[in-house]
Each structure stands twice: as C-alpha cells, then as structure tokens.
C-alpha cells in the first residue's frame, strides 16, 4: 500500500552507541534482513525466525489497513468496576504501543513499532 509506513526502531546494542535505528517494515524484503546503525556502522542481520515474525506483523498491518472501513463499527469491551466500556478499534489502534522483544547473542532488544498512515485521518 503506497504511502503507508510501518516504522520499527530499536537502540543499537554496540557498546557506547545506543543510537536509535529505524526501518520501514513494509520495505524490508524477504532475505534482506540487514539494517545498519548510521552512527557506528554496526550491522544487524536478522535471522529467518525473527524475519518470519516481522513478516507476520507486516501481514497483520496490511489486513488492518484493508479492514479500516469496518473498524468504526467494531469495539472492544473492557469490564470496569462501574460497568463495561466499549472502546472502538480505531481508537485503540492510535493509542496502543506495539513492541516485539528479541533475545539473541546473550542480549534482549525491544523493537518499538508504529504505523504512519498515508493521510492524517487514517486510523483516527
């Protein structure tokens, strides 16, 4: 979907760097799971298992985008002490933080995810 960006960022794990590394999930192609830190030039070559997880997330994003026209009719019920509150999916999609945690090479890294829509009204 042209114009849709699904940005993932994480902090470079190289000692003393910590530079945020960002890439567009929708541009990450099969077999090209390499991103590089712009500050220290450390390369991150994602293994097939992690690339598969990223691809599933990519498919989910595209499915949500495809279902956007019905999201205003769907809601999630949350039980509270004062009764049930219905939260529209569209609202949830703009307020929830998504994160994937990857453990490898003796370190754990959090990958933060956000969707930047084509138009300002998308997912609002």
Task: List, for residues 57-113, the tens digit of each pLDDT value.
Answer: 888 888 888 888 888 789 989 999 999 999 888 777 776 677 888 776 677 888 888
pTM check: above 0.85: no
In SS3 terms, 36-105 reads as ECCCCCCEEECCHHHHHHHHHHHHHHHHHHHCHHHHCCCEEEEEECCEEEEEEHHHHHHHCCEEEEEEEC
d(CA 61, CA 43): 26
> What residues contact 65, with CB distance under 8 A and at least 6 apart?
1, 4, 122
């Amino acid at each position: 979907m042209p114009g849709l960006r699904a940005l993932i960022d994480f902090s470079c794990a190289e000692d003393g760097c910590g530079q945020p590394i960002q890439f567009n999930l929708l541009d990450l192609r099969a077999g090209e799971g390499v991103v590089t830190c712009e500050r220290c030039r450390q390369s991150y070559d994602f293994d097939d298992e992690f690339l598969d997880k990223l691809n599933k997330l990519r498919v989910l994003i595209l499915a949500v985008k495809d279902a956007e026209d019905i999201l205003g009719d769907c809601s999630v019920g949350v039980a509270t002490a004062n009764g049930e509150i219905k939260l529209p999916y569209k609202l949830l999609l703009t307020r929830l933080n998504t994160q994937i945690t990857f453990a490898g090479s003796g370190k754990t890294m959090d990958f933060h995810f956000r969707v930047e829509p084509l138009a300002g009204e998308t997912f609002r």
